[in-house]
Amino acid sequence: IMCNNGCILPVEGFLQGLRDLCTEYGITLIFDEVITGFRMGLGGAQTYFGITPDLSIFAKALASGYPLSAIVGKKEWMSLIEQSKVIHAGTMNSSNATVAAALATIKVLQQENPYQRMFSLGKQLMQGLQETAKKYHHKMLVQGPGPMFNIAFTEQAEIQDYRDTFITDKQLLGRFIAGMHRKGIRIIGRGLWYISAAHTEDDIKQAIKTADEVLLEMQNK
Ligand SMILES: Cc1ncc(COP(=O)(O)O)c(C=O)c1O
């Protein structure tokens, strides 16, 4: 999922096609799960889509905000590190506190299984933003799977590739985001939203109410 470029979902067959090509030509298939990991589910986007890469990288939600990243993969590739054929050196490797944070995060995610709720809250927020924008005649596109999604001011019905991200009104997005920030809702500057396991229905309602105020102000200016 191209989270940093409009939250573009892979088209049907794309990931399987990549898997097949990489297997055929002996190429390592690597999934960047830095954003999708522990957000789409405990098994990341690869479990969600049912495609297994050779290597993947995880970070961000893995340790609930503690600075940690991880590279994981099939034994065939990871054993190269074990055999010291590939160097995996880093000052912060195996930092106890961040690894403890990741273990605690995974434990809570396993116990609480918040994923259905995160998808549902995400969809609720996406729909609320869409309806509010429509009410004030703003052409706001909201797209993504739910636990993460993107907003863009554009006439397009969908952002399908990187090129489409250029046909969006970044100035209008900037005004919306600044308005939200002023009223205490923090959104990432490029229009990306995340739902976390800690979010509640009240948070969603507050975000929609605030978006309503900001979109109204934008209409009047
Ligand atoms: C999807 C994705 N991959 C990789 C990275 C890079 O991570 P880092 O800043 O740790 O190099 C980011 C950073 O935000 C990201 O969003």
Asked if residue 34 has its Cβ within 6 Å of ligand 1, the reply is: yes
Q: Per-residue pLDDT for the chain (221 aa), expressed as one digit of tens each? A: 999 999 999 999 999 999 999 999 999 999 999 999 999 999 999 999 999 999 999 999 999 999 999 999 999 999 999 999 999 988 888 899 999 999 999 999 999 999 999 999 999 999 999 999 999 999 999 999 999 999 999 999 999 999 999 999 999 999 999 999 999 999 999 999 999 999 999 999 999 999 999 999 998 77
Question: How many angstroms separate the CA atoms of 62 and 99, rounded?
Answer: 9
Question: In angstroms, how far is the first alpha carbon of the chain from the final one?
Answer: 35
Of all protein residues, the one whose alpha carbon is nearest to atom 12 of ligand 1 is 34
Q: Which domain holds residue 150?
A: 115-220
Final residue in a domain of this structure, among 112, 127, 162: 112
Asked if residue 5 has its Cβ within 6 Å of ligand 1, the reply is: no
- Position 59, amino acid: A
Question: How many angstroms separate the CA atoms of 31 and 19, rounded?
Answer: 11
Asked if residue 4 has its Cβ within 6 Å of ligand 1, the reply is: yes
* Contact (Cβ atoms closer than 8 angstroms) between residue 187 and residue 7: no
97 and 121 co-located in one domain: no
Final residue in a domain of this structure, among 94, 112, 130: 112
Atom of ligand 1 lying closest to residue 69 CA: 10
Task: Quote the pLDDT of residue 219.
Answer: 87
Question: CATH code at 19?
Answer: 3.40.640.10
131 and 96 co-located in one domain: no
Work out how many domains the chain is built from and give that number.
2
Question: Packing angle between helix 201-220 and helix 115-135, nearest 10 degrees?
Answer: 20
